[in-house]
Homo-oligomer: A and B are copies of this chain.
Amino acid sequence: MGAYALKPDIRVIAPWREWDLDSRQKLLAYAERHGIPIEAKRAGSSPYSMDANLLHISYEGGDLEDPWQEPDETVWRWSVAPENAPDEPEIIELDFENGDACALNGVAMSPAQLLKALNETGGRHGIGRTDIVENRYVGMKSRGCYETPGGTILLRAHRAMESITLDRELAHMKDDLMPRYARMIYNGYWWSPERMSLQKLIDDSQATVNGRVRLKLYKGNVIVCGRKSETDSLFSQDVATFESDTGSYDQKDAEGFIKLNALRLRMRN
């Protein structure tokens, strides 16, 4: 889809669909015949279908095609099982700038460096395994196992960062649109006009998402321990406090607020 969007007259060759390489076995035989090395071949059976990039590695096919069957421990390549992760938690800190993670434990990194480092750290702590049945764009359900240690940490950290820097209604609007954004990307519409326009909204929302998040990594868990922003915190202890009413929030205002919000509910009876 992306290729067509970028170069409308491109010719796409899909060997599985257009040639006769329409099964895993035929592809393996073709590779063997032409001396193409295949990683992770398994005796007596084809390897899982794997895709990998900086963000994730995925596994499909083989015995994973029974969604009642737990994936064998030998499937996973980027992470240890939570049971085999260290007994000691590790504390990390991530800095965000305009919604992008830019430093790990105070060390500035490029996005690629940072994701790579989080993949390693997260994988060591058993973080980021996902085992799902997903809905393919072409119409069928499919079982996939994923490892995204860095992505899992970033997602948790980013939302914690947003929790004190993003306005409530902006956050809600973003939440409402998030599944739609995810669908666009999952289905191949990265280079579509709708994704690009929606990106403008999201990028604008991130201007205030600046600060630091502290996380504890422990046997599969990513635990948020703290979040702060010197420049953009919308959290005000003075307003939020439960201790007294000397703060700038006037409890008396709540009465009119509740009564008018309830007006339409009261009029229905």
Contact = CB atoms under 8 A, between A and B. Distances in A.
Interface in A1-49: 1, 4-5, 7-9, 12, 14, 16-18, 22-25, 46, 49
Contact of A242 (B49, B171, B205, B240): B49
Given A201-B200, A243-B25, A255-B17, A266 B176 contact: no
Given A8-B266, A70-B226, A170-B194, A139 B82 contact: no
A35 to B, nearest CB: 23
Contacts of A262: 1, 4-5, 139
A139 B260 contact: yes
Nearest to A187: B261
Contacts of A139: 168, 249, 260-264, 267
A14 to B, nearest CB: 7
Contacts of A105: none
A179 B169 contact: no
A138 B259 CA distance: 9
A193 B220 contact: no
A138 B225 contact: no
A110 interface: no
B171 A197 contact: no
A143 to B, nearest CB: 7
A25 B245 CA distance: 11
Instruction: Among A8, A16, A140, find the residue whose CB has the most chain B CB atoms closer than 10 A.
Output: A140
A263 B138 contact: yes
Contact of A173 (B134, B194, B234): B194
Interface string A78-100: 00001100000100000000000
